[in-house]
Structure 1
Amino acid sequence: MDGDLSSLLTAATARKLKKYDSLRGCRFTRGQFWDVVVLTASDEKQAECYKHQMEVKRKRQEFPLGVSFHVFADPPGPKIGDGGSVLFTLSELDKLYGKQLESKHILLIIAGGYSQRLPSATVLGKLFMALPMGERAYQMLDLKLAMYIEFPLWFGPGVFVSCSDDIEVYDASQLTMPGANGIVALAHPSPLHVGTMHGVYVLNRDAGMQVCKRFLHKPTIDEMHKAGAVLQDLTSNPDEFVYTDSVYHISLSTSKTLKMIYAQLNPLDCEVDAYGDFLQGLGTEVDLGDMKVTKNISRVSDRLIQVKKHILCCLKGTPLHVLPLDRSKFYHLGTLHEYLYHFTRDDNFRNELGIVSNSFSSSKPDTVAQSSCVIHSLVNGSVKTGSVVEYSILGQEVVVGENCVISGISLNERAIIPNNTFLHTVSVSKNETSAFVTIFLGISDDVKKSVSSLQEFSALTMLGRALSFNLQIWNLDLSDDLFTNPGCGRSLWNARLFPMCETMELSAATSLKMVAAACEGKKVDICRDWEHLSLADVLQRKDDKMMLAHREQLVEALGTKVV
């Protein structure tokens, strides 16, 4: 049955991509596409990076003409979360458009924040990650615009909210969307373990759009059963499943309520969730008195509780309609493991999106495993099973091991990249000139894991060994000077491990020596005069325009080589 569904979704996706391609560089008729597309960013630096990339795409006429694009950086100060970004964006749109908003279809993509679990996409943004979908240069943003091509016709004017690291593949050829006030959410049948990491809707067993009973935010499997969220259809889906969240539409009246909430809370000084805080208090069987507003939150404060309760009270009574898309799948690309699995091992995903092993790249025949992906790269060496290589130049004596992610690397000398290795070269600023840092990790390394003191440092691991052991191998001293802002914790994210070099080639070769030394347990001589940066430092000093220029040059060079 899954094979039949996958074939159906493959055909549906192809239709959407074809329709979107016909609009790229052309003007669309009213209601045929979004009037406004908005991206959120966590700060001004990220916003400028997004704006530059969007301008490049606009110059190439990769969007339908006449679409208004905006990037809104979160206001400076405390983190306000994705829900806070939505509130702030609605307020900014109101300033720009006023009454005109009442007739506009708006797509809001929450794209702020820096990904610690998918570092290759964090510098330029997950929304701009390259997708190996054949010769056409597709990014996540292009795919989202294509997959949502029908939504302006489905929904009335309002704001459609999506995230930057998920993909919804669906066939809705037999569905019609009646107008509805409040919030209308799309739901996808998912295994119970997926529901524990997302939102789950409690619905009747009726077909078509229905009023939601309750919304469960990252529930346990036991909580799903007790709430009546677990379903089973023996004719088509013999396994138990739940309907999980993905994207939703906010009507004009609810948008006004959210703008009012932001005005009342301004300045917003704590994190708000666009799913848990907006949807958790909605539904016909919700009891706000029993609501645990701080569930799944590690740091609780009186102010946080006050803000969350205020939002719940203001949204009380807002209708929550849910449209179950039974012929759909939801994919998340937020981690290295998910990224590798879906691109290299998930046959259904690869078929449904047209994922190929060689996307606008040049490589020797039979040197790239069919279950790997090479994207916008010049590869004269070999790439083994289950690896992804993007925007890289690899010489003929370079061997990429299994289950690796290689991004922006330039290696011409003989090199063997061990299995399960992550390598990513980033352009950074150094005294008004450019330099390069190659970040290296093990695919399974937990970049977010943090310890509060040096005495607990032994709990951190990297490349399959204790990080303290690796520091000795690399002749680096363990002290608080090793970390960027140790007061916020000590982790792989803020550990200054990565040497800054003058050229891309030297940077990649040096970091690979450090990887090999850690794997072999042998000391390596690294110039102690070189400045070492952390991942957190790299984001503050990144030169994204230099990175984009390098990618442009590589793509242009490949244009003469790709057959």
Structure 2
Amino acid sequence: MENKGSRRRTRGKADLAGTLRKSWYHLRLSVRHPTRVPTWDAIVLTAASPEQAELYEWHLKRAKRMGRIATSTVTLAVPDPQGQRIGSGAATLNAIYALARHYEQLRLEALGPQQVANASNCSSEPSVRCKRSNDEVAASMVTFIDKKHILLLHAGGDSKRVPWANPMGKVFLPLPYLAADDPDGPVPLLFDHILAISSCARQAFKNEGGLFIMTGDVLPCFDASSMVLPEDTSCIITVPITLDIASNHGVIVASKSGILGEGYSVCLVENLLQKPSVEELVEHQAILDDGRTLLDTGIIAVRGKAWVDLVTLACSSQLMISELLENRKEMSLYEDLVAAWVPEKHEWLQPRPLGEELVYRLGKRKMFSYCAYDLQFLHFGTSNEVLDHLSGTDSGLVGRRHLCSIPATTVSDIAASAIILSSKIAPGVSIGEDSLVYDSSISDGIQIGSQSIVVGVNVPGNNSRAAEDSIRFMLPDRHCLWQVPLIGCTKRVIVYCGLHDNPKISLSKDGTFCGKPWKKVLDDLGIQESDMWSLTGTQEKCLWNAKVFPILSYFEMLSLATWLMGLSNQRNESLRPLWKRSHRISLEELHKTIDFKQMCLGSSNHQADLAAGIAMACLNFGLLGRNLSQLCEEILQKEASGVKICRDFLYRCPNLQAKNSMILPKSRAYQVEVDLLRALSEETRACEMEHRVWAAVADETASAVRYGFKGTVEHSRY
């Protein structure tokens, strides 16, 4: 082993653009050619509830459709049992067990329906014979899954600090890095970039089965393809950070000696600290030579025998999880489960929920730290952090206009730094600096301030409202606005808060709403605490459980939003009674009643309409430079009319070349027809047309060569 201070290491941060592009290149290769570039055998997401798991399944199918996940990869979203919080550690065990059961189900289905029926009988009618069978099944599940390479992404929870991402799931928030590289593709999501980074980590496992755990609110930008993982152990990815940041995160205390490489080190983990003070860091010798300490990134790799131990524990964990549910306890991955691999933490762990079992089952293995000195830790834990990552030093990576419809600069005022994604903006709209508008339709008369976030908002146009209802709405600077469909409700509720509001901070601790302390909000509006909260027990009053948001007609909700944000006469004698007598909902209640199916359908239709508009403009006014194949993929998600729209485009094809015969190559016009035929699953006609494409390419190439040769000859005469 070599002393960590004996060699100079590369400490500069990685080039974010270069790292992401390399990772995306690797991801595409692994999806297209998984036999050449190994990919994950399974990708598993944890979810807070069955409803959220259903949403995540929709996103996983989308990722497969868009070529982000290989068709051979098994995907699964696993909710916490009974929708009750069990902690990230127990959720890890539950997810591994659910995946093992899923694989077992796939195996039985491959054998035939009788095997499935036998398995169902055993699960519903326990007996000695069935018990023996179940034990054998558990053993076979362990043997089978311990050879697999699994990516596990912790994505459950309620996203309290990024409340506008709560409906979609924080891991699926828009992150348009490198969006310009694929201008007709879907808006890149945080999830897509996580898939890209993780695809490079797969090769570190080689042929040894294992688990790679990541968190859904962090994008760790580093070259994971060069990662070194010790055999038969767990390994946590770390990066040096300053002590002030360490005070809000987990810290790893690593051995002073270890394996050193170019830009990384691998050392035994000696201790784990949670949000330590400087005194604690000094006491546990956690401060590095350069005055920094090691951040626990939440990225954990488990391979070899340590992975077998973890799978074995997971496949027998249901009684343990039932005990947690019964006692309403939680088991953390980052504090409890990993502590089983760190002997220094065993004494602390044993009295905790399931601590003795964890030490007994996992304690034989050790944990190492892989310190990636060039890792950039992009945390998306708050709304402000999201905007910071879109407007910071790497803002050149950001696609600021992607799959959107925006008016001319003479009829709107949209800041150059504003980010408009999958949205339709009408004339007469104003959008301020560094604001984000995503998956929305904004009608005229709407003003959006600077550093604001608008998601999933569909403001009806003037022609859909009566003259007396015609209003102008302004979202102030540093505010968030979003809409959510609710189960059993025909209306979408309008929700809003300040960019820096923390829904978890209570009224008594100076919690805020729309950037103002609650006490000032209540006083300005002339309402009482009892109007906002009707809590029982010891629950603290905060934005999360405040019944703020009324469910009324659309423009009544907008009017009340203006009033609640302090932009209209707050002593208004008509708005206050309207708000008081309305049925209102809190963020907490909203989280439990989101109509995910309606939300997915609405988003798909909205994006299909945008893609159809872009494709139509390309056919009518352009030179067919857009990727019609990709646009049609989005259009076809509109099940009711997607095929009809694409077929209408196909009928226009014979006239395309004639309309622009002097400047539009025949090969391009023919290729558009091929793309549309393939989108409509007319493969035979597409193949026939493809011959015409290549014939046209040959003619155009020959013509270009002749023209170029003639030009050269003419030039040589002079």
- The TM-score by the shorter chain falls in which range? 0.7 to 0.9
Change (3 A) 1:490 1:288: same
- Quick one: which of 377, 399, 407 aligns to 2:447? 399
Q: 1:16 aligns with which of 16, 23, 33?
A: 23
Q: Counterparts of 1:360-439 in structure 2 under 5 Å? A: 360-364=403-407, 367-380=413-426, 381-411=429-459, 412=461, 414-430=472-488, 433-439=489-495
Q: Describe how 1:411-560 pairs up with structure 2 within 5 A.
A: 411=459, 412=461, 414-430=472-488, 433-450=489-506, 459-471=510-522, 478-479=529-530, 482-483=533-534, 488-503=539-554, 507-517=557-567, 521-523=570-572, 525-526=574-575, 527-528=578-579, 529-559=581-611, 560=613
Deviations 1:499-557 (A, max 9, x none): 11344x65445423432447x64436333553111112222222222222222232223
Note if contact 2:48-2:157 (Cα within 8 Å) is conserved in structure 1.
Answer: yes
**Residue 395 of structure 1: how far off its partner (Å):** 3.2
Aligned residues of 1:39 and 1:109 also touching (Cα < 8 A)? yes
CA drift of 1:429 comes to 3.1
Change (3 A) 1:476 1:438: farther
* Corresponding position of 2:625: none
Choose the corresponding residue for 1:106, options 142, 150, 153.
150
Query: 1:82 Cα deviation (Å)?
Result: 1.0
Alpha-carbon offset, residue 59 of structure 1: 4.4
Question: Structure 1 residue 78: deviation in Å?
Answer: 4.8
**1 or 2 for the larger relative contact order (CA 8 Å, sep ≥6)?**
1
In structure 2, the CA distance between the partners of 1:182 and 1:209, relative to structure 1 (3 Å rule), is same
Q: Tell me how far 1:62 sits from its aligned partner.
A: 4.3
Q: CA deviation at 1:122?
A: 0.8
1:89 and 2:95 matched: yes
> How far apart are the structure 2 equivalents of 1:240 and 1:178?
23
What residue is the counterpart of 2:56 in the other structure? 50
Q: Where do residues 265-344 of structure 1 align in structure 2 (5 Å cutoff)?
A: 265-269=320-324, 270-283=329-342, 286=344, 288-289=346-347, 291=348, 305-308=352-355, 310-312=357-359, 314-344=361-391
Given the alignment of the two structures, is residue 255 of structure 1 paired with residue 310 of structure 2, yes or no? yes
Does 2:226 correspond to 1:164?
A: no
Q: State the shift of 1:309 in Å.
A: 5.2
- Give the SS at the match of 2:545: coil
Task: Give the drift of 1:38.
Answer: 0.7
Equivalent position SS for 2:61 = helix
Contact 1:395 1:414 in 2 (8 A): no
Question: How far off is 1:182 after superposition?
Answer: 2.1
Larger radius of gyration: 2
Q: Is the CA contact 2:80–2:86 (under 8 Å) kept in the aligned structure 1?
A: yes
State the TM-score, normalized to the length of structure 1. Answer: 0.85
Distance 2:597 2:321 in 1: 34
Whether contact under 8 Å (2:271, 2:345) holds in the other structure is: no
- After TM superposition, the structure 1 stretch with the greater mean CA deviation from structure 2, 471-480 or 192-201, is 471-480
Amino acid at match of 2:335: G
Q: Per-residue displacement from partner, 1:141-164 (whole Å, max 9, x unpaired)?
A: 211111111222111311111111
Partner SS for 2:487: strand
SS, match of residue 521 in structure 2: helix
Q: How far apart, in 1, do the equivalents of 2:482 and 2:29 lie?
A: 35
State the 1:398 CA deviation: 2.5
**Cα separation, 1, equivalents of 2:451 and 2:573:** 25
Between the aligned partners of 2:212 and 2:13, the Cα distance in structure 1 is 26
Structure 1 residue 95: deviation in Å?
A: 2.9
> What SS does structure 2 have at the residue aligned with 1:197?
coil
Report the CA distance shift for 1:246/1:369 in structure 2 as closer, same or farther (over 3 A).
farther
Counterpart of 1:132 in structure 2 is: 176
Which residue identity does 2:244 align to in structure 1? H
Partners of 1:107 and 1:160 within 8 A in 2: yes
Matches within 5 A, 1:19-34: 19-24=26-31, 26=32, 28-29=34-35, 32-34=38-40
Q: CA deviation at 1:169?
A: 0.3
How far does residue 473 in structure 1 lie from its aligned partner after superposition?
5.5
Q: What secondary structure, in the 3-state scheme, does the structure 1 residue paired with 2:486 have? A: strand
Pairwise CA distance, 1:130: 1.7
| Residues 243-263 of structure 1, C-alpha deviations (whole Å, 9 max, x = no match) | 433311122233145427735
Q: Which runs of 5+ in 1 are unaligned?
A: 234-238, 294-302
> Could you tell me how far apart the structure 2 residues matched to 1:491 and 1:170 are?
38
1:146 alignment counterpart: 196
d(CA) in 1 for partners of 2:15, 2:515: 42
SS at structure 2 position matched to 1:130: coil
Aligned-residue CA RMSD in angstroms? 3.1
Where structure 2 has 5 or more consecutive residues not aligned to the other structure, the ranges are: 1-9, 104-140, 462-470, 619-718
3-state SS of 1:323 partner = strand
Secondary structure of residue in 2 paired with 1:493: helix
Structure 2: how far apart are the matches of 1:410 and 1:77?
A: 30
Partner of 1:71: 77
* CA distance, structure 2, for counterparts of residue 287 and residue 71 of structure 1: 31
Q: TM-score, normalised by structure 2?
A: 0.67
Question: Which SS does the other structure have where 1:347 is aligned?
Answer: coil
**Change in 2 beyond 3 A, CA 1:533/1:215:** same
Q: Is the 8 A contact 1:132 1:358 kept in 2?
A: no
CA pair 425-525 structure 1, distance change in 2 beyond 3 A: farther
Aligned to 1:242: 294
1: distance between equivalents of 2:11 and 2:321? Answer: 50
**Among candidates 266, 274, 277, match of residue 209 of structure 1:** 266
Contact 2:43 2:75 in 1 (8 A): yes
Cα pair 2:201 2:227 within 8 Å, conserved: no
Which structure: greater helix fraction? 2
Give the secondary-structure state (helix, strand or coil) at the position aligned to 2:482: strand
Deviation at 1:105, TM superposition (A): 0.4
Deviation at 1:116, TM superposition (A): 0.8
Residue identity matched to 1:327: D
| Partners of 2:37 and 2:313 in 1: CA distance | 24
